[in-house]
Amino acid sequence: MLTATQETKSDLLKDLGLPENSAFAALDKLTDTESRYLRDLRVNLKTALAGETLSLKEAYLLAVASAANEENHHLSQAFEAKAIENGAEQGEIAEAIACASLLATNNILYRFRHFAHKDVYEQLPARVKMNIMANPVLGKEFFELVSLAISAINGCERCVAAHETSVLKLGATEARIFDAIRVAAVVVGLSKIIK
């Protein structure tokens, strides 16, 4: 007979579409020590993905981008499958991953400019191609929302402020923004346990 924590582990893996016999050191440690956090983690994931202002497709695409940003292969595959299950096309998944890559690049450049506090760096061109932003498959508002979430993960204050302003101008609400940030935050937390 399974303990409550073992059942929670099993349910979490089922939620993600991962095999129940999957072995992840941190997840197994939480399970073996009957950690109450495991239940919180599962509830947090379910709550984040069921945000009131995001469709399940959008929530899973945000999760794909967040997992890609964290370089978590297991979660990337799991969330890709869930995104497809909820109507995402391969081009949308590819663009969510590309967005994570582009924003990782931009976040480093703009964070450096911010940290250095030197006019010379502000005046030098970034010389980073960003054609994907011009006509995104995901649509401009959602692409900006994903960009904002990845910028929040990567801790780029300037990028967060710019993308938040942009996504609001494109019609998003603060509630939608916060739902997207919650998905990103929970995926990052989950990536510390399932890796």
Q: Which of 72, 66, 63 is nearest to 103 (CA)?
A: 66
Give the catalytic positions in this structure: 156, 159
Q: Which of 4, 10, 1 is nearest to 35 (CA)?
A: 4
State the Cα angle at 116 between 163 and 111, rounded to 5°. Answer: 25
The rounded distance, in Å, linking the Cα atoms of 14 and 31 is: 15
The residue type at 94: A
SS3 assignment for 58-96: HHHHHHHHHHHHCCCHHHHHHHHHHHHHCCCCHHHHHHH
Name 108's Cβ contacts closer than 8 Å, sequence gap at least 6. Answer: 154, 156
Q: What are the two backbone dihedrals, phi and then psi, of residue 11, each rounded to the nearest 5 degrees?
A: -65, -40
| Length of the chain in terms of residues written | 195
